[in-house]
Amino acid sequence: MTTSTRKQRELQAREELILDAAQSMLHQHGYNYLTMERIAETVEYSKGTIYNHFASKEDLVCSLCCRCITNLIDVFERAYQYRGSTRERFSAIGIAYSLYLQLNPMDSQNILTVKNNAIREKISKEKLIEMESLEREITTIAKSIVQQAIDIGDLDNKHQHHLSTIVFGFWSMHYGALLLDQSGIPLEQLGFSPVVQMLWTNANIFLDGYQWQPLSTVTDTARLFEKISSALFD
Amino acid sequence: MTTSTRKQRELQAREELILDAAQSMLHQHGYNYLTMERIAETVEYSKGTIYNHFASKEDLVCSLCCRCITNLIDVFERAYQYRGSTRERFSAIGIAYSLYLQLNPMDSQNILTVKNNAIREKISKEKLIEMESLEREITTIAKSIVQQAIDIGDLDNKHQHHLSTIVFGFWSMHYGALLLDQSGIPLEQLGFSPVVQMLWTNANIFLDGYQWQPLSTVTDTARLFEKISSALFD
DNA sequence: GAATTATTATGACGTAGCGTCAAATAATGT
DNA sequence: ACATTATTTGACGCTACGTCATAATAATTC
């Protein structure tokens, strides 16, 4: 029993070690430099051992992605706990998302990588299921705030059947914005402002569109942004 | 002179041939099946000749992407010409985008591929510039409608300095939604409705948020969607 | 129209990196 | 101490990219 759990723990520890090495390598030299061989060298195990942990390079990257979503869930939960109106708490989720990905550009990269079909095809079924389950978890947090807003009356209950549409809209807006940002489109050159700023404006407009109270027109949004972001990232 | 242009034309024709072959291969068997060797076989030229046209596999895929953006520009221009209010014309752009990518899922795939940093690194400078120029062109169309809306007064001119923010918000929302859709997240399973439908709802809410007249509350949006989409795709 | 030169096409070759598997090594049980 | 089971290893096979010397073809000159 103890033996078995010690083994487990050792395995687990090594897995983390590998993931850390991969992450740092990715961070420093990018995806193309990341090879199974190099990871093996770095952690001082053989390639075969790496393959005992991860079915493929893609599986490994997907695992990094799972870690990232786990981190995001953490931040989302802090946003969920934020003391304020439902609208503020939902906004907090948006801020959490955008600041997290801004602070960890490599993670946006990985998300983008894993979403690519060519890569996805090579990810094992199990890893995909793991990731899906995390994704379900994270959308659940967002959905529950919307539900609460409807229950309280901050959001008209004619939107009850739009519940997931609201979440989806908010999500896709952030997702799209951050991916556009990450993907080397020269936004400034095309005449755009900093992404986090535009996102905050548009998120507010979007929620105003749904008449989610209190509207941004009666709020000091700049100050709110500061408050929420320091509440989340300190 | 004539000789040179004939040469040019032959080259151009072959380039199209290669791109067609690649597109169809991609369509039928996916990115991982696509190899330079197989393309060469299909078009009955040698690998070296393919490399005379495209500096790398990534360059080739980027070229496909450029073709796709060119198509999008076409549809955007039709949207621009749509006879109706500025709001309808801007909405038409959203519909154009979402229906085009819905009808050509392989193109969304390619966009996703090309946006990936690992891939982008391998694309030649020239191709990237070519693509950026197309991207500039396409955003210009969207921006000009927003400008017209402000000039006419459909959109309050306090939004003048948000002009690009509006375009960016609209773009990112659509972009994010369609990528989420393409990237195998089991949206229905997570309790979401069909993407095009959610997008249409959210796009309207977004524009309502900016108070872009006439608001969706005084519009038969379902009918409008039908009208616009048949105007664009027939 | 033959000779020369310029252009273009070819595919064998070098290389990188993935993933496998038989053999070596370590751990565990008796 | 020996047998059995589990884990680790790295050489090997394979695929696919991209190159380049050579061959083939086209253009030009005389």
Q: What is the mean pLDDT of residues B82-106?
A: 96
Indicate whether B186 pLDDT > 90. Answer: no
> For residue range B16-59, what is the model confidence (pLDDT) as tens digits?
999 999 999 999 999 999 999 999 999 999 999 999 999 999 99
Q: What is the pLDDT of residue A10?
A: 83
CB pairs under 8 A between A and B: 178
CB–CB contact A165 B198 (8 Å): yes
Rounded, the Å distance between the CA of B48 and C1' of D20 is: 10
Type of residue numbered A112: L
Indicate whether B168 pLDDT > 50. Answer: yes
Indicate whether B5 pLDDT > 70. Answer: no
Chain B residues with CB under 8 Å of A184 CB are: 115, 117, 120
Given a contact cutoff of 8 angstroms between Cβ atoms, the answer to whether A169 and A209 are in contact is no
Type of residue numbered B113: T
User: What 3 state SS string does B73-92 have?
Assistant: HHHHHHHHHCCCCHHHHHHH
- Strand C: list positions under 7 Å from protein Cβ: 8-12, 16-22, 28-29
Flag whether residue A193 sits within 8 Å of chain B, measured between CB atoms.
yes
Interatomic CA distance for residues B134 and B62, integer angstroms? 12
Indicate whether A70 pLDDT > 70. Answer: yes
Confidence class for position B10, pLDDT limits 50, 70, 90: confident
Q: What is the mean pLDDT of residues B153-173?
A: 96
- Strand D: list positions under 7 Å from protein Cβ: 7-11, 15-21, 27-28
CB proximity list for B188: less than 8 A, separation 6 or greater = none
Interatomic CA distance for residues B207 and B5, integer angstroms? 49
CB–CB contact A205 B201 (8 Å): no
CB–CB contact A193 B165 (8 Å): yes
pLDDT, mean over chain B: 93
Burial class of residue A136 in the structure, from the number of CB atoms within 10 Å of its CB (0-12 exposed, 13-18 middle, 19+ buried): middle
Sole residue written with tokens 């094992």: A124
> For residue range B105-134, what is the model confidence (pLDDT) as tens digits?
999 999 999 999 999 999 999 999 999 999
Q: What is the mean pLDDT of residues A117-123?
A: 94
Interatomic CA distance for residues B59 and B52, integer angstroms? 12
Interatomic CA distance for residues A20 and A122, integer angstroms? 22
Q: Which domains does chain A have, with CATH numbers?
A: 1-53 (1.10.10.60), 57-232 (1.10.357.10)
**CA distances (Å), A152 to each of A106, A146, A149, B86, in order?**
38, 10, 5, 36
Q: If contacts are CB pairs under 8 Å, which of residues 71-100 in chain A contact chain B?
A: none
Interatomic CA distance for residues A87 and A2, integer angstroms? 49
Q: What is the pLDDT of residue B3?
A: 39
CB proximity list for B79: less than 8 A, separation 6 or greater = B89, B92, B93, B95, B96, B141, B228, B232
Nearest residue of A to residue B204 by CA position? A209
Given a contact cutoff of 8 angstroms between Cβ atoms, the answer to whether A90 and A146 are in contact is yes
